[in-house]
Chain A
Amino acid sequence: MDVFTLILWALRLGFLLLIYAFFFFVARALWRDLRTGVAGSGQALARLLVMASVEGRPESGASIPLDAVNSMGRDVNNSIVIDDSFASSEHALLTFRGRAWYVEDRGSTNGTWLNGQRVEGLWPLGYGDEIQIGQVRMRLDRPRTEGT
């Protein structure tokens, strides 16, 4: 086998090797992105934007960060206190299950409303949907993404 054939082999394999080197660096970049994604997950899962609140508790315009389980109502032990005359003390539950949000009514007097329909049982909802409890209207929004 002469030298030129060997060089051809080296070039051929070199090309393949370089394509895989490209992969290695891409994979490293992807891995780093994933790591930073995990590290940044301390932020809220979503937020509730108060669109309108007649009595001002919570204030309209407020943005409430959400955990996986959020109880809502007039009682101070709820994670989101809705101090409205038409809200029950244990009014509704807003939960994040798997990858979707669900809202359920906890037997409130005046009901929980999703986009104008009264919630019966466990209803799924998406970003942009509006929940009404008493005279408080709130919209589910994506968490605020800060800079970088």
Chain B
Amino acid sequence: MTAVAQGLNRVGIRPRLRRRELGLLILVSVALTVGWMSYVSFRDGRLELSDTSILTTYIVALFVIHALFVISGRRMDEVLFPTAAMLAGISVLMMQRLPQDLVTQSVGGRDLGLGELQLAWILFGFGLLAAIALLVRSDGWLRRYKYTWAAAGIFLLLLVFVFGDVTGGARLTLHIGPISGQPSELLKVILVVFLAGYLAENRTVLARASTKIGPLRLPPLPYLLPMLAMWGIALAIVILQSDLGAALLYFLVFLGLLYVATRRISYVVLGMGMFLVGGFVLYELVPRVQERIDIWLNPWADAQGAGYQIIRGLYAYGRGGILGTGIGAGLPQVGTVQSIPAIQTDFIFAGISEELGMLGALAVLGLYIVIAERGFRIAAFAVDDFRALLATGLTLVIVVQAAIIAGGNLRVVPLTGITLPLVSYGGSSLLVNGAVIGLLLALSDKGIEQPVPGARRGLVSRMGSRFRRRPKLSGGMDAARP
């Protein structure tokens, strides 16, 4: 062991134990094993622990990633990964438990069912998580090219407008050769990267009020344009793609970041006002929006049609009660009829609530709150504005998305079709959310490369052109490096 450590030392890697992460991962493994036992025993009618290949693969993968983190010696957050592992573990259990023919795909002559496919996507997603957490040593590539990222995002959006296929009534899926995916998942990360860069550069100007409209104090007008553009893009997504969930997510994350960057509640009020006006106009113009609002207000009006999914969801909560029916004992399928349509993606939260009960559902929501706490903590300890805003945005993307879809499932807000991060079935979603957690881990590393001081370009420093000619700086500039 010491020989290995010395060998690693020679190549500049110092392993660092992560006791807290190890302990939490062991607890996750034990919990999932008990959950698995409860499922298999119920299914077979006798106490046993069989068919464990999927469970063991998942648990082994968790500990391999943990070992990689330890060996790399990076000082990253130790709670985030076990929390994500718990969410994805519950997902592995549920997907194995649901009817396997909900999604099938033939890979290399083998027919894979829902459980196996989900495990594969989770492993890919966690692979990406580990790769990003271990390899990203600098954020320059995100910081420097923010307009390039924005352009790439808009390009991606246009591609979907033109070539996208319709999934569940929304134009979401893009096929490129044999690969298909949902770019709206990737777009949310690109959006956060761009907004973090833009707001970090211009936040002081945005926070200073110079335009007054009635009681509202607004920033200089040119700086309002991105807000209007963002609003326009969200509306365009709704009208052209009828992807309500993504539009809502983008706009809420944008408002959240704007508030964090400027501390101006008036912008949030203004944004929500614009949102309400936009929503009202869309309700009148777009039939899909109208339908969504109507079934939210009264699903019973069309119980066998548009309201069917929501009503089946409500029944599921009733069957689950406080303690749940137990994994495997719920009613996801009666004969050949699915009890809740899209239970493996949009309505997985209802499925979990039925089998794990209110306590299980609250636990899942609690796991997202833990992710929020860790993410905002990483943001609060960040060394500069860009990193703080980036961490905030990445956290918001996961948490707000979970809130929108869980709220939709519970009929608290109108239902919009997006995934429950790290739990719903779906390749694009799992890969992107894995990458988001990976980036948060990389940002939490206290040894991450420091931003170059004085590299602030852009509108604010351009206005201060008095200072264009910087005098030669003495050694003090290096002080920011550890």
Contact = CB atoms under 8 A, between A and B. Distances in A.
B476 A50 contact: yes
A8 interface: yes
A35 interface: no
Interface string B346-368: 00000000001101100100100
A124 B204 contact: yes
A137 B467 contact: yes
B83 interface: yes
A117 B213 CA distance: 24
Interface string B236-274: 000000000000000000000000000100000000000
Contacts of B35: 15, 18
A16 B474 CA distance: 60
Contacts, number: 146
Interface string A44-69: 00000111100000001111000000
A29 B356 CA distance: 25
A142 B384 contact: yes
A38 interface: no
Contact of B20 (A20, A29, A130): A29
Contacts of A117: 463-464
B363 A19 contact: yes
B327 interface: yes
Contacts of A51: 454, 470-471, 473
Contact of A22 (B31, B75, B324, B467): B31
Nearest to B38: A11
Nearest to B355: A12
A100 interface: yes
A142 B471 CA distance: 22
Nearest to B36: A15
Given A60-B473, A115-B464, A124-B208, A16 B86 contact: no
A23 B473 contact: no
B5 interface: no
A107 interface: no
A49 B30 contact: no
23 contacts: A4-B46, A7-B47, A11-B34, A12-B323, A15-B356, A16-B357, A18-B27, A22-B82, A22-B86, A25-B23, A33-B377, A52-B473, A60-B474, A113-B466, A115-B204, A115-B467, A116-B463, A116-B467, A117-B464, A124-B208, A127-B384, A128-B385, A130-B464
5 smallest CB-CB distances across A and B, nearest first, come from A61-B476, A116-B464, A11-B38, A18-B31, A61-B474
